[in-house]
A and B are shown apart, each in its own frame.
Chain A
């Protein structure tokens, strides 16, 4: 489950994403789309259409893949350097808004703990 599982809900598009490390410079992201057995035809069509939002050709996730590639290449060229951009402090408390990095900070705090850093 942790740290390589992501549960996705974007409107009616439901999916389980699994991160599969393939080495220092490569990973695979496995997507499993989900619907329900009692979805009617209309809901089924809605889910199929809204799946366009995410995935390798996803309207909202295409640029994430692109920018992740930029950062990976940039980081490799400056392996001795450190850079941090903080958004909204250092805590991990739940917030009223999603415009926060509390959850990803919580992720990395737990990751460091498990990895013994």
Chain B
């Protein structure tokens, strides 16, 4: 299982960093939760997210907006994703929980590189017709500050 989670994380990071955002919703189940929040908000049980999507359609909608509607400076990410820790028992329906640290460098079109975000992915994963998919990915950022805007998903 650990190997499957590692592979999913590697594919997930490459899809985003290679600007294949259209592939990103495919890493999630149809009914899902993707949320970006801060460690402080997470600890205090505050529900709102900087990005909050509770259906796969909302993920696809965000990609469509980034491609067709939103105005933002051209930028790319480089994800460094650490090793996942499998946490908690496997549920009756085969759901696995994993926690994985990440670091994201943002590269702007003028070459500026910033350490944009660090944190951990809190995941619930299930086998979805033979593929391991995210039923839930809560992106808990260590800092509560984001530099101007968060366009591309973490």
Binding site for B on A (CB under 8 A): 28, 33, 44-45, 47-49, 51-52, 55-57, 59, 62-63, 65-69
Contact = CB atoms under 8 A, between A and B. Distances in A.
Contacts, number: 56
B148 A69 contact: yes
B149 interface: yes
- The DSSP consensus for interface residues of chain B is loop
Contacts of B142: none
Contacts of B48: 33, 47-48, 51
B149 A65 contact: yes
Give the interface size class of chain B: 20 to 34
Nearest to B154: A57
Contact of B49 (A51, A62, A63, A66): A51
Contact of A48 (B52, B73, B145): B52
B151 A57 contact: yes
A57 B71 contact: no
B105 interface: no
Contacts of A69: 73, 148
